[in-house]
């Protein structure tokens, strides 16, 4: 007997639309379903908000002031921490070129207004099922002599099991998951510790040093004046 996948509550949704009535409707509908919802009225503000909120899905209008939804979507797709975030266009634009442009920048769905709340929630749940499968496949990262298991919070290095403190583990996992991308100290504080935590950027340096004491210096590279990058293959 096949059991249905249970959609976990608490997924984060960022709603980006300059229409106040639509924003209020979506915020009410999605909050009632148990999702964490934040809203933005233009694409430029959405870019800033997305990097601290780290949504699982972004509902994005196209015709907006300051920055339109296509340009905002293109820039959002370039943010490493949003690599697994779904972008769904929810727009009154029905022209084929608008839809083509949306999918060209990597949109996962394109939904025409007017909004049908129940149908929208159903389509979001379908996307979250996909995300659930993606998360399951990334529970363990295996890179060179290093295995990082997010379920057991264990590190296996050269066939030896290591136990790192929680924040050191989360920092290592985040960098490894975004292998090849460079992050500043401030970005790592936001992504790993959270936007509302007030600690100094040097905290990142201390945690990196402790991680290197366990797995050596070859995995995490320092870019002076820039930040850190997980890149075991570079010299």
Query: Among 23-27, 51-55, 86-90, 138-142, which stretch is predicted with the lowest mean pLDDT?
Result: 138-142
What value does the mean pLDDT take over residues 206-221? 94
What value does the mean pLDDT take over residues 140-157? 87
pLDDT, one tens digit per residue, over 65-87 is: 899 999 999 999 888 778 778 99
Q: Domain of 211?
A: 140-230
Burial class (CB in 10 A: 0-12, 13-18, 19+), 10: exposed
The CATH number of whichever domain residue 127 belongs to comes to: 3.40.50.2300
Identify which has the larger pLDDT, 129 or 161. Answer: 161
Write the DSSP symbol of residue 105. T
Question: For residue 31, what are its two tokens?
Answer: 């909050």
Overall number of domains in the chain: 2
Q: Are residues 164 and 198 in the same domain?
A: yes
Mean pLDDT, rounded, of the chain: 85
DSSP of 44-79 = HHHHHHHHHH--SEEEE-SS-SSS-HHHHHHHHTT-
**Cα separation of 231 and 220, whole Å?**
6
Q: Are residues 129 and 21 in the same domain?
A: yes
pLDDT, residue 141, reads: 86
pLDDT, one tens digit per residue, over 170-196 is: 999 999 988 888 899 988 988 888 766
Contact by Cβ (8 Å): 45, 66: yes
**Res. 10 pLDDT band, cuts 50 70 90:** low
Burial class (CB in 10 A: 0-12, 13-18, 19+), 15: buried
Q: Are residues 80 and 152 in the same domain?
A: no
What value does the mean pLDDT take over residues 47-56? 90
> What are the φ and ψ backbone dihedral angles of 139, each rounded to 5 degrees?
-65, -25
The CATH number of whichever domain residue 197 belongs to comes to: 1.10.10.10
Between CA 122 and CA 36, with CA 9 as vertex, the angle to 5 degrees is: 90
Q: Are residues 30 and 56 in the same domain?
A: yes
Q: Are residues 180 and 121 in the same domain?
A: no
Q: Are residues 127 and 145 in the same domain?
A: no
Is the model's pLDDT at 88 over the cut of 90?
yes
Residues in the chain: 235
Is the model's pLDDT at 5 over the cut of 60?
no
Q: Are residues 76 and 44 in the same domain?
A: yes
SS3 184: coil
Q: Are residues 18 and 132 in the same domain?
A: yes
> Which of 105, 137, 169 is the last residue in one of the domains?
137
Is the model's pLDDT at 167 over the cut of 60?
yes
Q: Which of 221, 125, 134 is nearest to 182 (CA)?
A: 221
């Amino acid at each position: 007997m096949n059991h249905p996948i249970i959609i976990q509550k608490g997924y984060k949704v960022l709603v980006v639309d300059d229409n106040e009535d639509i924003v209020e409707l979506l915020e009410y509908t999605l909050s009632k379903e148990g999702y964490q919802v934040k809203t933005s009225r233009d694409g430029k503000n959405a870019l800033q908000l997305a990097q601290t909120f780290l949504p699982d899905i972004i509902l994005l209008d196209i015709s907006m002031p300051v920055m339109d939804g296509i340009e905002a979507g293109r820039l959002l797709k370039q943010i490493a921490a949003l690599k697994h975030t779904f972008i769904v266009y929810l727009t009154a634009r029905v022209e084929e070129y608008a839809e083509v442009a949306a999918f060209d920048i990597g949109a996962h769905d394109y939904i025409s207004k007017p909004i049908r709340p129940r149908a929208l929630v159903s389509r979001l749940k379908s996307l979250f099922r996909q995300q659930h499968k993606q998360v399951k496949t990334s529970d363990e990262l295996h890179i060179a002599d290093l295995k990082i298991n997010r379920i057991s919070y264990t590190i296996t290095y050269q066939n030896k099991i290591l136990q790192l403190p929680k924040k050191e583990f989360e920092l290592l996992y985040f960098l490894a998951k975004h292998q090849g991308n460079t992050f500043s100290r401030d970005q790592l504080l936001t992504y790993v510790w959270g936007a509302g935590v007030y600690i100094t950027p040097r905290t990142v340096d201390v945690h990196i040093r402790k991680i290197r004491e366990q797995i050596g210096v070859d995995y995490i590279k320092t870019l002076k004046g820039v930040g850190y990058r997980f890149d075991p293959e570079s010299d």
